[in-house]
Amino acid sequence: MAGRTCFRCGDPDHFRNVCDEYQDAKRRGVPFIPPPQTRGGRTMGMGQERRSLLADSNMRRSGGETDVLMREYFLQKAQERRERQEREAKEEAARKEEAMQREAEKKRLEELAERRRYEDEHDARLLRMVREEVLRGKEKEDVGIVAKKVEKVVKVIRTNERGETLDEEKERLRRMIAVAETEEAEFEDDELLRLRRRAAGLSLNDKRKRGKEVAVGDSPPMTTPTKGQRTGLSIGAKTRISEIRSEGGAVAGSSASILELVGKISQSLKHVTAGTGPGARERYENECREIFEALTIEELKDACKAEHVVYGKREMAINRLVKKRVVKAYDPVKVPLPETPGVVRRSVRNIRLAETDRRGKVVHKVFVEYWRVALDLGKLDLNEASGCVYVLVSPWHKQTYVGMTERELKVRWGEHVNCVRKGGKRRGRKLYNWLGKVGLEKYVAIPVFFNDDRAELEAVERTLIKTWSPSLNTIGTKKKTRKRWRKGRKERRRQWVRKEDVTIRGDSGQLGRILELRTRGSRITVRVVEFLRGLIKPSHGTGIEVYSNGGQTWTDGWRVVRRLFGESRVVVGKRTRPLRKCKKLLETEGWLVLRDVVEASPRTLRLKQDLIRMFRNRRKQGELSKKSVDELVGYYSDAKLFLEKRSRTRARRMLSNVFKRKFGMNVRRRIIVKVEYDDRICKGEVVRLVRSGVGKLELTRLVMEMVRRRTRIVWTRSQNVGEILHNHRRYAADGVFGCTCTDMPFPRVEGHVHFRIGELFDVPSIALNAKNVSRDRSEGVVSRLRKELSSGVEDVRWLGIGTGKITFSPEEVERCVSGLESDASSNLTEVRQLVTRLDGLVHAPLDRNPGDTLVMCPLVYGAAMETTFVQNEGYEVCERKEVAIFNDCFEEFRRRDFDRLGKWDVEGRLGNAYALPKHKDTAKYRPICRTYREPCNGVCRKIARAVNGMLFALPKSGHFNLKSIGGLRPRLIQINRKMQRVGKYTSLLVGSYDIKDMFSKLPHKTIMQALDWCVWWHERRGFRGMWVKRRGKGAAMSKKESVDGCQFIEFRVIRDFVQYELDACYTVASGTILRQVIRIPMGKATCPPLACLLCVKAEWDLLISLGSDRRLIAGIRYVDDASTFVAYDSRKPESKRKKRRGFFRCSKTVTTTP
């Protein structure tokens, strides 16, 4: 049975009748199920027993055998996968190799074509040169010689044994020897013979076979020359070229006519020199371009490799090489600074400028004088490696710059050059823009002061900038004043003086050196204040010798030195004089003696130090009670020296308490007189009159000067037409509406007066716009001004007891008014006559058009108020009184601990609501609820800032909300980029909508759900609340423990206060107290952020529900104005229909509220 296989189990070396597994299954009465195996061919059995699930479940196979079969199966699959990957890798490698071969062949063909094209152009150029030389020779001979020359030329143009003409043979031989351009007038045949003989020794027609190289002795290894075109010349060829040049006897007028070999490149640039003067740069660039154009492709590539330039195409490579050569030759960084000796002859002092270089500009005398002094002292040595103060000047331009550096000047100059090329820094943009405009080569840096101490350099720089005021400096220069059309007296007196080709001003400003002082054995310094402070202790009781260089410019200012050290003593002969009287002596070169140097502390600084000590020690504040009123005024004036506002406020509060407690004065008040504007009143005379009235009070001199200085005269605006004419608020508050238009001859609508004021026939033109300000030209201006002055200075008891009163006589008031006669141009009377004519009617401005006025019957306006407020489902009538409502609200306010956010205003009142007719349809009205008088209005504004901060902190990709109109353009750019990434054939469906009833039909439950969602979002990221600024606008999210100037409000407090506002939202309409139960609190500060938050929540849910299609939708919404964008494929109509359905879904979600 060897070699047999059981067809039941598949095992070898036995038949079915002796198969143990089959017989065992037969005895147990279950079908035999053979193991899984790979079928190698067709099955010979005619039938097969049906396998049952019961048999499969009851089958028990050994675990080891099953593992072996599964392992073999996975090994076979792994082998097949490995073979498939290897086969695919080989195919991919073969494809890449074939592609590389095709690319290399294509590149080789392109280079061959480029080489052939260049050789053809080169041959044509050389033929053109030969032809020009022949024609040039023909012009110089007579007619007979011309005939012979033509015959000779005809004889020359023959073909040789290679089939080449004379010109072609000359070209080939010239290329083999060298490219030499000469200016000879004739070409003779003997030259051709010599070229042939020399070329015969250079050409190698057959290749030579050579054996293996063997080293001989210590000789270097032999190298085989590279294959290709040999561009190098032999010694004989070089000798011939030199002979041809010497025979010509012509000197090269241009540096590009002589070529020299450098390595593999057949042309040399060493002989091309960069010149100076007009047109030198362009000439150098043209010469370099001619040399590079004469190179072959291989030579040009070698040149690019040597210069580290990318080859690319031929023209591009030539342009890059020429540009790099020009930059190397004319780069200001590469130009070394001239070496200036430490000692300069006196002849250098005379500065002369050529007429061509000056170009009409001015060389300032201050620079010339300063440099002359520096040259005498030997300070202009550029080789000195130390910091310096330098000046950037130009003989072409009058713009200058003064700078300072602690390093070498050439390093700082290199930084200026780099900043000019890269665009410059923000602080030096003015300098770098100017240097980039006129060119760096027109400016030079000249040092004027050397020192290693940074403080000394800064002092000199600051002084020179203040003295010279260079136009290119931005810090420390004099502020520019408004340009005057007519020059001043001093400017008109200036004369222009010309001396030795140098144009200078007759009035050249401050000249002279900077004052420098030193003691024996110490370094010289220009900081006079610090120098004198160092002499306070050494000079006490003795004298110290000080050397002065005789400078006249004080870096710290003579006034500062005189104020601080004016009482120091200077020895003059046998006596001493105060330093404040010795300025000329200090500005004289030589030695002087200082004694008892003392620094006088300014009075203001001393008082400020007293206030600081009082801040630190409260006991010292009692010393203020012992001060006089004048001393306290000095302290109060010096409180402004503190930099921080809280320190100034603290000092003024401390001093004002002493004024009030001791003298009964409120020093923090001031006299403010409000005067209604009238062009007949002279404001300057009013100010003088009020200040003269202050002088009549019984006050000390310092207090009187302070009160006068703090007095203010303020113009007030006259009433406009709307303030005089409109009376809708009074009718809305009273709630008394009845028909009064029965007998009035005005336009009517549905039986009642209802018209725009422009429809009236004889209405004054000024009343057509309610914003117009009426003009009062009546004769009562004097009495009105007197009444305003008396009301402004009526109560001056805050200045103390027994100060008196301020009174003004009629004559003094009349002097403040000019033109007392009445004028017919007064239109205030016309407006008042119109009000009398329309008495009994309601005059209300139009919404969105406050300049227009609508006149209607009170009954019509009363019906509008009833419909808008009282009968509206969003309000319910409250039967309680205002006092009871405020008591309950205050108790809830304190119970929830809201008083730590702000105080409760006990004088607060409920706001009166009114309705405004709409501009497009005057039959519709817009409700307006005023809340600025409510008791907790300050806390409400603070919570509104916190809700705004929470809203703006949400991811912008999850909603359409726009923070401000300023962000509209960036958002549109972002949407365009987003839609461009969708696809190439993308079109948009765009729609703009206005959200209806955004504020009026939002249930309170939905508002709180949106706020809870926003709080949950931020709490999930680890935030606990908002930091709101105590003063001003703004809120921020931070996990810090404290933020300067901000108050922390937890999310829980924000949610509780919003719920408190929704539960206690009351208003008064038509004399009835209403409680709002549905809508967002109208008129409150939290109204806009809550409405936007609701829309953001709806947009967020929409975008999440879209899934991956959210990339096709974008939108912009600013409060209640929304625009949506939906992208679709313009090639597929089905895509447009599908996206249109999604577009309407998106629009419905955006324009409706939950």
Q: Where are the domains of the chain?
A: 1-34, 71-195, 251-330, 346-477+497-505, 518-595, 603-663, 672-870, 875-904+936-1151
Q: What are the φ/ψ torsions at residue 330 (nearest 5 degrees)?
A: -115, 15
Do 636 and 768 touch, CB atoms closer than 8 A? no
**Any alpha helices (H) in 140-222, and if so which ranges?**
143-156, 166-177, 189-200
pLDDT of residue 540: 81
Tally of CB atoms within 10 A around 590:
10
Which tokens is 927 given? 């409700």
Tally of CB atoms within 10 A around 440:
19
Q: How far apart are CA 813 and CA 790, in angstroms?
A: 11
Tally of CB atoms within 10 A around 91:
10
Q: How far apart are CA 648 and CA 1105, in angstroms?
A: 57
To the nearest 10 degrees (0 to 180), the angle between helices 1051-1063 and 1004-1019 is: 170
- Number of residues written out for the chain: 1154
678 burial type by CB count under 10 A (0-12 exposed, 13-18 middle, 19+ buried) = middle
CA dihedral in degrees (248, 250, 256, 260; nearest 10)? 50
pTM over 0.85: no
Three-state SS across 497-553? EEECCEEEECCCCCCCCECCEEECCCCCECCHHHHHHCCCCCCCCCEEEEEECCCCE
Q: How far apart are CA 332 and CA 393, in angstroms?
A: 15
Residue-wise DSSP of 693-711? HHTTSS--HHHHHHHHHH-
Q: Which residue has the tokens 């006196």?
A: 346
pLDDT of residue 801: 79
CA dihedral in degrees (308, 310, 313, 316; nearest 10)? -70
Q: Which residue has the tokens 């140098």?
A: 502
Q: 279: which DSSP letter?
A: T
Q: How far apart are CA 320 and CA 324, in angstroms?
A: 6
Which tokens is 460 given? 């000199």
Which tokens is 896 given? 């929830």
* Cα angle, residue 386 at apex, residues 385 and 392 outer, rounded to 5°: 100
Residues of the chain whose pLDDT is less than 50? 37-62, 142-157, 178-188, 202-220, 222-233, 248-267, 333, 335-365, 496-511, 1153-1154
To the nearest 10 degrees (0 to 180), the angle between helices 143-156 and 63-139 is: 150
Helix (H) or strand (E) holding 561: helix 558-565
Using a CB cutoff of 8 Å and minimum separation of 24, what contacts does 352-356 make? 352/500, 352/501, 352/502, 353/395, 353/501, 353/502, 355/501
pLDDT of residue 552: 85
Do 28 and 55 touch, CB atoms closer than 8 A? no
Among 232, 258, 501, CA closest to 368: 501
Q: 574: which DSSP letter?
A: T
Q: What are the φ/ψ torsions at residue 682 (nearest 5 degrees)?
A: -95, 115
Q: Which residues contact 196 (CB under 8 A, 6 or more apart)?
A: 169, 173
Do 476 and 470 touch, CB atoms closer than 8 A? no
Using a CB cutoff of 8 Å and minimum separation of 24, what contacts does 1025-1032 make? 1025/946, 1025/1049, 1025/1050, 1025/1051, 1025/1053, 1025/1054, 1026/946, 1026/949, 1026/950, 1026/1051, 1026/1054, 1028/942, 1028/945, 1028/946, 1028/949, 1029/945
> Which pLDDT tens digit goes with each residue over 793-816?
988 888 887 888 898 998 999 999
Rg of the Cα atoms in the chain: 51
What CA–CA distances, in Å, run from 239 to 234, 517, 789?
Answer: 9, 71, 110
> Which pLDDT tens digit goes with each residue over 145-175?
444 444 444 444 456 655 666 667 766 666 6
Among 976, 989, 975, 992, CA closest to 1140: 989
Which tokens is 747 given? 């336009």
856: three-class secondary structure by DSSP: strand
Beta bridge partners of 553: 514
Which tokens is 751 given? 């039986």
Q: How far apart are CA 498 and CA 862, in angstroms?
A: 89
Helix (H) or strand (E) holding 946: helix 937-952
Topology given in CATH for the domain delimited by 346-477+497-505:
GIY-YIG endonuclease (3.40.1440)
| Amino acid type, 704 | M
pLDDT of residue 354: 35
Do 295 and 303 touch, CB atoms closer than 8 A? yes
